[in-house]
Amino acid sequence: MINLTLKDGSVRQVAKGTTLYELASSLSQGLARVAVVGKVNGELKDLDYALTEDAEVEILTLDSEEGLEVLRHSTSHLLAQAVKNLFPGTILGIGPAIANGFYYDFDSEHTFTPEDLAKIEAEMQRLAKEDNSFKCKLISREEAIQYFQDSGEKYKVELINDLPEDAQISLYTHGNFTDLCAGPHVPSTKMLKTFKLQSVAGAYWRGSEKNKMLQRIYGLAFAKASDLKDYLFKLEEAKRRDHRKLGMELDLFSLHDEGPGFPFFHPKGMVLRNILEDFWSKEHQKRGYVEVKTPIILSRTLWEQSGHWDHYKENMYFTKIDDQDYAIKPMNCPGGMIMYKTKLRSYRDLPIRCGELGLVHRHELSGALHGLLRVRNFTQDDAHIFMLPSQIKDEIIAVIELVDYFYKIFGFEYHIELSTRPEDSMGSDEAWEMATKALEEALQAKGMDYKINPGDGAFYGPKIDFHLKDCLDRTWQCGTIQLDFQMPEKFDLTYIGEDGEKHRPVMIHRVVYGSIERFIALLIEHYAGAFPTWLAPVQVRILPISDKHNAYAQKVQSILKDQGIRVELDTRREKINYKIREAQTEKIPFALVVGDKEAEQETVAVRRYGQKDTKVLSVEDFQALILDEINTKRTGL
């Protein structure tokens, strides 16, 4: 007998050789019916895996992320089987699970079309109903090479050749199809019910431009039909909310071939941008920050000293001045180091919180550029906090609270990841351990849930990343807190301690928006361009019914302008219904219709964006209503 420790901590004795499926059946027949895969000592295993020693065991269903990932990977095998059936001679690449679905790469003389996807999907549905079991077979490396050479699968042979000579190779078979795969898989194809093929794209074999371009078919897979339907709805909604489309329609910004990756902000876009920057500045002043501005171009020697030359050079732009090498800054921090060193610092001066809305330039590949989300120049809402070691925890907590305040103002939910030491890091093990521990302690002190993101820290320190969730449940990495013991060392930053001796300060790098440009893109898509009143570039448009009402409309405009309200007057000789429709199309929060009755009674007919009803208010009451929305920064979400 062997002892199995279950997820709830209970221990169950079973006979040696009991499979995971048999274990599930002994726990509950209902569990056995919906079981997808098992986890043994943290490793995923097929349900027919035999347990031979004491272990920690968990039975997973499609309610778990891991169960869903197995379902999606199994569906990729079904896709490959369908393609091989319909297009004989196709050579297989790889087919992993990805977020919300899967893909498979194919080398085929046939060019797949959208019409082909429908045929392939129908074949997948037919094959799934055959209820074929996924069976794993272990063979030697030599046998595997021979098998795939005989079947003409040259890419599989290449993958096997990269494995150790003594490796055992696992093949998975269902029906008439066998593939190279580490597994695990769902028990049977009958579990593969809810999927949809999406698109075809080109993909170089193993991601290298030196290799052949294959055809990659993408698909979606979910546990339930309702989940797929919801996701497809969100995809369509994402197209409607695309910030590139709305940015042009609302006259906020534009992108041009004359400056790929370098956005042009229009007057209305600048209004939105300035609101965000003014809000940022005021909130930071309240929290004891001072603002600085550092140069865009600095010498090569500075970037060598900071480590960017060795660790970040491929993302930087360069120029020469007086025959000396200079770089356009990709980050603001080295300039912050120079600012700190301009005078002697005392322990009484710390912490020093320096904020900078700094313009940076980073070289992105043209294929990676995407509206305002991925650009080549952007403004980071940076800050560098110089502090005593004893102040680390309190300062990190204060930054967490600041980020939380900002995101709640805009109506965003978020989750947190702690990114740890990367391979190309600099600094001692002790410094990294101390920095990582400090971030963990601050998160724990705030009671924040977080997950570890191994190896994704900055080259100079670990970091806390804030991932925003928008109204379509998409996540975006924006805010970050990076604890740095390396830069103060490299730049020989010091302060005079209570003992009169020089000591090394500790430093935090942090952003809240991440970049102004990217945050604007997220706001556009989150609100579908219908910004809350306090953010809207135009908050009110006054619509006189005819020319004789222009004088009263101008009077109302003047009253609202005096209160700092952003108001336009539409005096065009167009029908009033046309003017109202246009104000709605431009997503202006309030349209005020004024005619004879309104002029006589000194009222306005208020039409709020997205609503059909009109409400008549006195000018004074409307003014109070809109100022309340502006001052409270109401989101409307």
Position 340 scores a pLDDT of 95
Catalytic residue among 509, 518, 587, 607: 509
**Reported pTM:** 0.79
Measured CA to CA, the distance from residue 61 to residue 447 in angstroms comes to: 29
* pLDDT band at residue 459 using 50, 70 and 90 as cut-offs: confident
Measured CA angle at 277 (ends 273, 279), to 5 deg: 115
Residue in 178, 206, 204, 221 with CA at minimum distance from that of residue 73: 221
Q: What is the mean pLDDT of residues 280-289?
A: 97
Residue 212 confidence (pLDDT): 94
Contact residues for 311 (Cβ-Cβ < 8 A; gap 6+): 424, 426, 459
Catalytic residue among 46, 105, 179, 382: 382
pLDDT digits (tens, 9 = 90+) for 183-221: 999 999 999 999 999 999 999 999 888 999 999 999 999
Q: Please check the confidence at residue 608 and state whether its pLDDT lies above 80.
A: yes
380 is catalytic: yes
| Annotation marks residue 333 as catalytic | yes
Task: Write down the catalytic residue from 241, 361, 362, 421.
Answer: 362
Choice among 241, 384, 541, 579 that is catalytic:
384
The ranges of the chain annotated as CATH 3.10.20.30 are 2-61
User: Who contacts 302 (Cβ-Cβ below 8 Å, separation ≥6)?
Assistant: 334, 338
What architecture is the 540-631 domain classified under in CATH? 3-Layer(aba) Sandwich (3.40)
| 8 A C-beta contact, residue 276 and residue 283 | no
Query: Which class is 2-61 in CATH?
Result: alpha beta
The pLDDT confidence band at residue 636, using thresholds 50, 70 and 90, is: low
Catalytic residue (choose from 81, 215, 380, 539): 380
In whole angstroms, give the CA distance from residue 162 to residue 214.
20
Out of 308, 463, 566, 587, pick the active-site residue: 463
Helix (H, G, I), strand (E, B) or coil at 66: helix
Q: Decide yes or no: CATH 3.30.930.10 for domain 253-292+331-359+372-526.
A: yes
Task: Kindly report, as residue ranges, where domains of CATH 3.30.980.10 are found in the chain.
Answer: 66-228
Above 60 in pLDDT, residue 531? yes
Say whether 463 is catalytic.
yes
Rounded to whole angstroms, the Cα distance separating 78 from 89 reads 17
Nearest to 48 by CA among 165, 145, 173: 173
Pick the CATH number of 66-228 from 3.40.50.300, 3.30.980.10, 3.40.50.10090, 3.30.1330.10: 3.30.980.10
Catalytic residue among 81, 156, 333, 526: 333
pLDDT at 473: 81
* Cα 70 to Cα 57: distance, rounded to the nearest angstrom: 17
> Which range has the top average pLDDT, 6-10, 282-286, 410-414?
282-286
Residue 637 confidence (pLDDT) above 60: no
210 as an active site residue: the answer is no
Is the predicted pLDDT of residue 427 greater than 80, yes or no?
Answer: no
Alpha-carbon distance 121 to 86, whole Å?
11
d(CA 313, CA 557): 53
Q: Report residue 134 CA to chain centroid gap.
A: 34
pLDDT of residue 493: 96
Asked whether the bond before 462 is cis by omega within 30 degrees of 0, the reply is no
CATH 3.30.930.10-classified regions of the chain: 253-292+331-359+372-526
